[in-house]
Amino acid sequence: MSHQTSQPKRSHEPVFWGLFGAGGMLTAFLTPVMILITGILIPLGIIDSDALSYERVHGFATSWYGAAILLVLIALPLWHTLHRIFHGLHDIGVHRGRDWQQVICYGFAFAVSVFCFTLLIQML
């Protein structure tokens, strides 16, 4: 006689919530800093505008660590945004096509992340 126990259904949600949380934390910490640097300190002349010159930014982006940092800075906030949009649709009462909403939101985040990764690799 075999005894079967029912296993709880596995979910992929923890992965998306993890990406959501990481992207939200990154956005919350870095957005005010970027506003401070690009919107206040550089225009006031406190930081030299050459710090963000094309040559310096290009040099950073074409290094392996710079490309990795840029990928994280682009992909995680994107995953955060699209996860928020997906759950926001449910909150405003859009319940039809929930599977398609999930495919579109997470598929778009994945596609743009892969696209950015590909571009950054080509720049190296």
CA 10 to chain centre: 24
Sorted by where each starts, the structural domains of the chain and their CATH numbers stand as 52-124 (1.20.1300.10)
**Mean pLDDT value across residues 47-71:** 93
Digit-coded pLDDT (tens) for 62-73: 999 999 999 999
Mean pLDDT of 93-103: 88
Percentage of residues in the chain with pLDDT exceeding 70?
Answer: 96
> Which residue pairs from 101-107 have beta carbons closer than 8 angstroms and sit at least 24 positions apart in sequence?
106/16, 106/82
pLDDT of residue 5: 66
